[in-house]
Structure 1
């Protein structure tokens, strides 16, 4: 028999029942907010949260069971079911019906939640810089432990693209958070701006973003030159361009075969000109160049924004509040 919301009533679960082992199920296909909005019609949360990973908990009674429904780490909900007959089959049946109920109510209230989402000033922004950098560093650590050179070189190629993407993600994050209001005013023009080639973004960032102190970014020493060198390799590698360095001439003479290889490295930094030449030392060079670019970008920021942004960059996601001019970083929800 299908469960209806009217079948649920708030009921605190007694301590004796809680000492028994419940049947626990996960709801991860329906947002916690949708479930909370449905349960909120019964009243305020009445249960004690089981741990610090939960914000709220509802304890409710069904005709055939007691339930504890609580949010889990923001992205899902857990349901502890105490069936009156203590049977696993009963708990599983109740959970299926409960999940169907929440899915039905979530679909009914989708428009209302969308309106509230549009009105909210708060966002959780994914941090592509940290996500890509962490992944690249994990691949590098694995590559350093691998004896099979073919596998090691495969890891190097994957890490190279992640490292390059990490800085591109950083620059995109800066534009997302700090673009000047006048730059955002025309949506079509703003889309063209954020789609600019990366070298133009670096050049125009101080003029288009309000977080910088001057009209240009000072890159110490050969920071920009090193980044430009690996960026040029990236353009050929990512598009799999058939460059001259990929063409090895074969000469047949006196019954022998000889290979005449073109130059395989960049003279200035000894970087490989073909993707098959990427080795661990080139990845360490690339990582250093990316971090130096990041540090130069931070140094060019106004002091009051630099500290919070630098700390936020260490996290996989950044909590922000939309203001009239830019995103304001918050340390916690």
Structure 2
């Protein structure tokens, strides 16, 4: 197949068939060899602007309706990050829809390669960025593990389940994973604030490098100095939300750095030729043990509460206009932004 064999089709080509509701693609190829932008530029170069409006405009921005002697095609983007080729075979066609789809994709790949220089130049000076929200990813994963921990307390989850949880001991692994992710979600939360609201005059590499090395508690306390979104005199270190999180962060630091801490040094004594290993008290003021191996689901619930309380405290400390804006995007998976003369704006 070559592009000379492909032409624009009537965007309503499905309506020429009887029983329109029953018409489904014979094959859909979700190509990963080209980005949606590369595919679009290749199509635009050959066929001009998109010629179809027959799509779900919540999930799709553009669509081409095309045809060959063998099939009709719908080529469209999907949720911005992917694109697809839908193939509708014509009655006389003998070839498989899958083969036709891959042939068409190869044609577009060759066309996109010819536009490689143009695309590279466009990407050197982008109109903006879509930030993958790290807070969303870490928090959602931690919540998912915590929900699962709560569910497996029910006896019905144990018999020969597909995850291979053959004993209660496995839940400790999940507790440890959730704990680390909840703490990481706070770091992601703070990093997101700095990326979105760092003062324009401070957006330079040396400052970014310094901030990336800063301890999370200091980074939090310095946020009103570096970021334009906060009211004055906020994020006091004596606030309970801040103090509880600081204690939690100390536990996290020992865990992340795999420190051999005092609660891990269990004294052994012999009595009457018997050996006795004695546990060391690892309790803390916040109710979460400092020994990683002792975590239970209730400790993860406390971790979730402490981290969420800190997040709420930080958001409440923002200026009103920034608070409204930040609350809208905090739980979005992707955040679209643009930079204008060094100043960032959320779209």
TM-score for both structures, normalised by structure 2:
0.86
Instruction: Give structure 2 stretches of 5+ with no counterpart.
Output: 154-166
Matched, 1:289 2:306: yes
Change (3 A) 1:43 1:240: same
Moved more, 160-169 or 114-123: 114-123
Paired residue secondary structure (2:95): helix
2:5 counterpart (7, 13, 18) = 7
Alpha-carbon offset, residue 215 of structure 1: 5.4
Alpha-carbon offset, residue 81 of structure 1: 1.9
Paired residue secondary structure (1:320): strand
Residues of 2 paired with 1:301 and 1:156: CA distance? 32
Matched, 1:153 2:178: no
Alignment partner, residue 80 of structure 2: 74
2:324 counterpart (303, 307, 310) = 307
Q: Is the 8 A contact 2:269 2:277 kept in 1?
A: yes
RMSD in angstroms over aligned alpha carbons? 2.2
Alignment partner, residue 187 of structure 2: 168
Matches within 5 A, 1:307-326: 307-326=324-343
Q: Is the 8 A contact 1:227 1:289 kept in 2?
A: yes
Residues of 2 paired with 1:233 and 1:152: CA distance? 20
Q: State the Cα deviation string for residues 278-326 of structure 1 (Å, max 9, x = none).
A: 1122112111111111112112222111111012112222222223354
Alignment partner, residue 39 of structure 1: 43
Change (3 A) 1:313 1:123: same
Paired residue secondary structure (1:149): coil
Change (3 A) 1:176 1:69: same
Matched, 1:26 2:26: no
Paired residue secondary structure (1:273): coil
Q: Is the 8 A contact 2:134 2:189 kept in 1?
A: yes
Alpha-carbon offset, residue 178 of structure 1: 1.2
Q: Is the 8 A contact 1:133 1:162 kept in 2?
A: yes
TM-score for both structures, normalised by structure 1:
0.90
Q: State the Cα deviation string for residues 41-86 of structure 1 (Å, max 9, x = none).
A: 2122112323232222111122433222122222222222233455
Moved more, 29-38 or 112-121: 112-121
Alpha-carbon offset, residue 6 of structure 1: 2.9
Alpha-carbon offset, residue 4 of structure 1: 2.5
Matches within 5 A, 1:1-333: 3-12=1-10, 14=13, 15-17=15-17, 19=20, 20-29=23-32, 30-41=34-45, 42-52=47-57, 53-87=59-93, 89-147=95-153, 148-185=167-204, 187-214=205-232, 216-218=234-236, 221-266=239-284, 268-330=285-347
Runs of 4+ in 1 over 6 A off after TM superposition: none
Would you say how many aligned residue pairs link Structure 1 and Structure 2? 326
Q: Is the 8 A contact 2:130 2:336 kept in 1?
A: yes
Residues of 2 paired with 1:125 and 1:263: CA distance? 44
Moved more, 145-154 or 163-172: 145-154
Moved more, 189-198 or 156-165: 189-198
Q: State the Cα deviation string for residues 195-254 of structure 1 (Å, max 9, x = none).
A: 322122112211111111225424674111110111011011112211121111221221
Change (3 A) 1:139 1:237: same
Change (3 A) 1:226 1:279: same
Q: Is the 8 A contact 1:164 1:234 kept in 2?
A: yes
Paired residue secondary structure (1:173): helix
Q: Is the 8 A contact 1:57 1:69 kept in 2?
A: yes
Change (3 A) 1:37 1:200: same
Alpha-carbon offset, residue 174 of structure 1: 0.9
Change (3 A) 1:172 1:84: same
Q: Is the 8 A contact 2:27 2:98 kept in 1?
A: no
Q: Is the 8 A contact 1:227 1:293 kept in 2?
A: yes
